[in-house]
Amino acid sequence: MKRKWQRWFRLLPLAALALLLSGCGKEGVSALEPLGPVAKDQADLMLISVLIMVVVVLVVGFIYFYVLIRFRKRKGQEDYIPKQVEGNTTLEIVWTVIPIVLLCILAVPTVPKTFSLSDTHSAKKESALEIEVSANQFWWQFTYPKQKVTTAQDVVIPTDRPVVFKLTSNDVIHSFWVPALGGKVDANPGQVTTLKLEADKEGTYRGRCAELCGSSHALMYFNVKAVSSAEFDRWIKEMKAGPDQPASASAKQGEQLFKQNCMSCHAVGASQTNKLAPNLTNFADRKYIAGFLDHDKKTLEKWIADPSALKPGATMPARGASGKLTDEQIKQIADYLFTLSVEK
């Protein structure tokens, strides 16, 4: 009885793993739930390979067990040796041709799809939207070169056309991955790589860094917000117009403090690119702080007081450039940052 229990206990880690993995796939972070044309094509390719592999495993497994049972050692026949078939030309041809046929079946959809999915040049002719992505430890900057707009953390795209992302990195190798929309591509320092994605439904898709890049690699999230093309055009206009002036006294005070303590790295104003920190023009419209933290004032105050306590390795200094902001001043800055909204 005790033995049996021990055996079940050994299954516990497996059960725990299954439970853990079942947590994957939240917030559109699953390649198996494709939500755009590119991702659908890729998921179909995966499905074909998996189906072929399942068939192979079933057939080979069946033959294996059949042979195991059919040719097992029987009592009274210990010295019996069944008919040997090495050098049987027919069998050799059969088990060489079958894998060739299977690989051909796999190649027919895979090869042309691989080329068309990675073809970012003719996508450009289809008037695709171009977005430059620069990856940093541990945040993302997005620039729309034609529209001359820069933002960070949340990238907004239209649903009516493909988007060509041009990726690079300011420090180490990162990898740009929006599982629901398609495969990932590395962002390398000193190099530009491209990735074509498309969202045909409006919604917010979670993206993340998929290349171990430092202590907060696992927290290097971003959002892709897909909106109608009219809404996208409006958003670009609103970004260019910028947020309204702060109204309350506290936020006004916060703006002054922000200029003195934060502007050496951050920019407010969508035409400005500052390589050192996220552009905050529409900070109040974001869904998270720093890509993953609750988007509320209390968390923001904690963030400004000590970023690396919340996101290990974050290069932003605690309590501003001087390190001397008081709790009251931090509160005022938080008030100001929450006025930075362009959505009317």
CA dihedral 48, 51, 56, 62 (to 10 degrees): -170
- Applying CB under 6 A, does 274 fall inside the site for ligand HEC? no
- Applying CB under 6 A, does 292 fall inside the site for ligand HEC? no
CA distances to 126, 173, 187, 221 from 177, in Å: 23, 13, 10, 9
CB of 142 to Cu ion, least distance (A): 15
- Applying CB under 6 A, does 309 fall inside the site for ligand HEC? no
- Applying CB under 6 A, does 34 fall inside the site for ligand HEC? no
- Applying CB under 6 A, does 246 fall inside the site for ligand HEC? no
* Cβ atoms < 10 Å from Cβ of 104: 9
CB of 307 to ligand HEC, least distance (A): 6
- Applying CB under 6 A, does 268 fall inside the site for ligand HEC? no
Kindly list the residues in this chain that would bind Cu ion in the complex (CB under 5 A): 174, 209, 213, 220
Binding partner selected for residue 283 from ligand HEC, Cu ion, none, CB under the kind-specific 5 to 8 Å limit: ligand HEC
- Applying CB under 6 A, does 138 fall inside the site for ligand HEC? yes
Write the DSSP symbol of residue 246.
Answer: P
CB of 116 to ligand HEC, least distance (A): 35
Question: Which residue of 37, 242, 269, 317 would you call a contact of ligand HEC, by CB under 6 A?
Answer: 317
Cα 41–Cα 207–Cα 342 angle in degrees, nearest 5: 115
CB of 139 or CB of 165, closer to ligand HEC: 139
- Applying CB under 6 A, does 253 fall inside the site for ligand HEC? no
* Cβ atoms < 10 Å from Cβ of 306: 14
Strands of the 174-177 sheet, one edge to the other: 154-158, 221-227, 203-209, 174-177, 185-187
Does residue 138 have a cis bond before it (omega within 30 degrees)? Answer: yes
- Where are the extended beta strands (E) located within 110-216? 129-136, 139-144, 149-152, 154-158, 163-169, 174-177, 185-187, 193-197, 203-209
Q: Please count the residues of this chain forming the interface with ligand HEC, following the rule CB under 6 A.
A: 29
CB of 49 or CB of 326, closer to ligand HEC: 326
* Cβ atoms < 10 Å from Cβ of 116: 13
CA distances to 10, 37, 54, 321 from 14, in Å: 8, 35, 22, 48
Q: How far apart are the first and last CA of the chain?
A: 69
**Residue whose token pair is 């050496």:** 264
CB of 43 or CB of 265, closer to ligand HEC: 265
- Applying CB under 6 A, does 135 fall inside the site for ligand HEC? no
Cβ atoms of 107 and 142 within 8 Å: the answer is: no
Q: Mask 139-178, x = binds ligand HEC (CB under 6 A)?
A: x------------xx-------------------------
Of residues 190 through 229, those in contact with ligand HEC by CB under 6 A are none
CB of 314 to Cu ion, least distance (A): 12
Contacts with ligand HEC by CB under 6 A lie at 138-139, 152-153, 258, 261-262, 264-266, 276-278, 283, 286, 289-291, 304, 311, 314-317, 320-321, 325, 333, 337
